[in-house]
Amino acid sequence: SGEALIAISVFSGQFKQTLVDELNRVAEDGNLMRNYAEPNQLCKYIAMSMAIVSFTISVVAAVHIIRRKRRMAAMVTKHIQSVARLDFASLEEGRARSKTGDHMDFQIHASLEELGNGLRSLTKYTDPNVARLAVSGRRPSTLGVAQADVTVFFSDMAGFTGIAETLDPHEFMDLLGTYLSEMSAIIMESDGIVGEFIGDAIMAWWNVPKSIGRRHTCVALHAALRQQHRLAELRDQWLRRGLPEVRARMGLVRGRVLAGNIGSPERMKYGLVGDAVNLASRLENLCKTYGVGILIDGAAATAPGVAEEFCLRGVDQVAVKGRRAPTELFELIGSRRALEEAGSDRTCQQLCEAFASAHACYRQADFEGALRQLEEAEKFRPGDVPIRIL
């Protein structure tokens, strides 16, 4: 607006000076009065000139206002689209620019920032991918589900009740908050959806509503291993501070579920329903029985890319309530690349082979052979709970 006012002022000043010069020439030279023979001729000339000036100023002002409105509309559209994408960085950039603009710019950005803050808070209550799905729709959310192929994850802090009773409430909440924050960050960095926090437990899944391809189980298993690695680092820090030892149990299952908005028309959430959800929770609980950190089911063990990327040990077959066929359990020991880098890949392979042979002998009623294989397996992992159970 400053540039437009300067242009108008310069134009008006130039015209005013021209008009004054003309009047002075008329007053000084009587011969020039012949040009204005009629008494009203000079007045008409002045009025017409002023009308031209007024019209010109109006046109310049109108063009400036139209351009300003267009820029403002484009800016509002851009930032509303940023809000719909939950792109809060663009809102911050717009707020910085609005401080150098006029009052209307500031008001518009302030309103958009208020809306953005509300949506930013929403992403703290629900996963950002789910929140983005909700706010980007052209119609209000309704109840409904669809089948989806997913990898479901459940984790739980071992000895949660004992830890809670041992620590001061503020100290305990600080520890729990750090644990949940670090674990959920790894899940979200791996394109997973953090569905729920249930006390110290985490429910998450991969491949819906955001599809990440057929190898989503590999992504989920890598995320589980990263969580265990990060927890080991946190555990060392907490132990040095005199805090209790914190470990986590994890269960992962691949299967088809119903995914979508569940609940009531007035209050709903995006979630999963199906056998895979229940089984993942039970596998997490079975980690306590077998003394392992991560258990997966047979469908996850045979999912695309898993056998090539991970070292797995068949632990047992269990009867799960509601399922006719026994469920095969596998311990996720580690990724093959990480084990090779650590120089322990051969040891893990020998453990898995010896334990698998022991299971085969046991199922064939060759108990002496099973015992020999178990003794061989125990050389690679003394005190192993699955070996002791078998």
pLDDT tens for residues 149-168?
999 999 999 999 999 999 99
Q: What is the pLDDT of residue 8?
A: 43
In sign, the C-alpha dihedral spanning 187, 192, 193, 197 is negative
What is the C-alpha separation between 88 and 94, in angstroms, rounded?
10
CB atoms within 10 A of CB 195: 22
Calculate what percentage of the chain has a pLDDT beyond 90: 45
Least confident of 110-114, 186-190, 321-325: 110-114
What is the C-alpha separation between 27 and 114, in angstroms, rounded?
65
Residue 289, pLDDT > 80, answer yes
pTM of the model as a whole: 0.74
The band of 118, judged by pLDDT with boundaries at 50, 70 and 90, is low
What is the C-alpha separation between 106 and 258, in angstroms, rounded?
46
Average pLDDT over residues 171-183: 96
Residue 108, pLDDT > 70, answer no
What is the C-alpha separation between 350 and 254, in angstroms, rounded?
27
Average pLDDT over the chain, rounded to an integer: 82
User: With contact defined as beta carbons under 8 Å apart, do 331 and 339 qualify?
Assistant: no
Q: What is the pLDDT of residue 48?
A: 74
How many helices (H) does the chain have, and how many strands (E)?
Answer: 15, 8
Average pLDDT over residues 296-321: 93
Q: What is the pLDDT of residue 64?
A: 73
Q: What is the pLDDT of residue 5?
A: 43
In sign, the C-alpha dihedral spanning 379, 380, 384, 390 is negative
What radius of gyration, in Å, describes the C-alpha atoms of the chain? 37
> Counting every residue, how long is the chain?
390
Two tokens at 112? 């958009």
Q: Before 209, cis peptide (omega within 30)?
A: yes
The band of 54, judged by pLDDT with boundaries at 50, 70 and 90, is confident
State the DSSP code for 326: P
Q: What is the pLDDT of residue 60?
A: 76
Average pLDDT over residues 284-292: 95
CA proximity to 276, closest of 174, 205, 199: 205
The band of 380, judged by pLDDT with boundaries at 50, 70 and 90, is confident
What is the C-alpha separation between 302 and 68, in angstroms, rounded?
61
Whose tokens are 């569940």? That residue is: 262
145 SS3 class: strand
Residue 24, pLDDT > 60, answer no
Which has more pLDDT, 37 or 148?
Answer: 148
